[in-house]
Amino acid sequence: MKEKKNKQELDKEFKNEEVVVEGEATLDRELLGDDKYIEALEEKLGEALADAVTCKNLTQRLQADFDNYRKRNQTLAEEMKQLGISMVVEKLLGVLDNCDLARKYISDESALQGFVMMETQILMALETFGLKEVEAEGLPFDAKVMNALEREKAEGKEDQVLAVISKGYTLNGKLVRPAGVKVGY
């Protein structure tokens, strides 16, 4: 019963659409005459075709946007997890840097021992998330993981890392921060 009623309503709507296109004047063949009627129809057809091209272009663009979005979203969850970890780890790198700087100003032997133990503990905790220090000392300079901060004349040690000025780190193989180094030339 309900289905029948719906069908009747749809038929009625369809008929209405045939008679008057929303917001537009009805084309009356008798009133316009054949030539003008055809002319008006052709004009409408042209407009409709132009609209169709616009809509097709828009659909293609939206489809392409959506496909790209979907492709990127497939890996997004894992990336977001890694991003969350890296955000926390990056903040803690500042703490590790300061530990490095502060260590040389601690003169008390037992205080230094405790300090080093705490520093190691922080580093080990971060290592469980995939943090790894960039090895640089004595190695050939590699701009992929190192940042040259200074250079010094060093015979036989051209393009080699003479000293690490600030430590660099990778997180699960991805560079978080390059090692700041002094390079020989």
Partner 1 sequence: MGKIIGIDLGTTNSCVAVMEGGEPVVIANAEGMRTTPSVVGFAKDGERLVGEIAKRQAVSNPDNTVISIKRDMGSDRKVRIDGKDYTPQEISAMILTKLKNDAEKYLGEKVTEAVITVPAYFSDSQRQATKDAGKIAGLEVKRIINEPTAAALAYGVDKDENKQQKVLIFDLGGGTFDVSILELGDGVFEVLATSGNNRLGGDDFDKKLMDYIVAEFKAKEKIDLSSD
Residues contributing to the site for partner 1 (CB under 8 A): 57, 60-62, 64-65, 68-69, 71, 101, 141, 143-144, 146-151, 159, 165, 174-175, 178, 183, 185
Of the pair 126, 141, the CB lying nearest partner 1 is at 141
Q: How far is the CB of 28 from partner 1 (least distance, A)?
A: 37
Q: How far is the CB of 118 from partner 1 (least distance, A)?
A: 21
Distances (CA, A) of 107 to 96, 98, 114: 19, 16, 12
Nearer to partner 1, 47 or 152 (CB): 152
The CB-of-127 to partner 1 minimum distance in angstroms stands at 21
Quick one: tokens of 47?
A: 């407009």
What gap in Å lies between CA 108 and CA 105, rounded to an integer?
9
Evaluated on CA atoms 134, 138, 141, 142, the torsion sign reads: negative
Q: Name which of 32 and 90 has its Cβ closer to partner 1.
A: 90
Sheet holding 169-171, edge to edge: 131-133, 169-171, 174-177
Largest CA distance in the chain: 108
Phi/psi at 159 (nearest 5 deg)? 65, 20
Q: Helices marked H in 34-138 — which ranges?
A: 34-103, 109-127
| Residue among 40 and 180 whose Cβ is closer to partner 1 | 180
Decide whether 5 or 91 has the Cβ nearer to partner 1: 91
Residue type for position 11? D
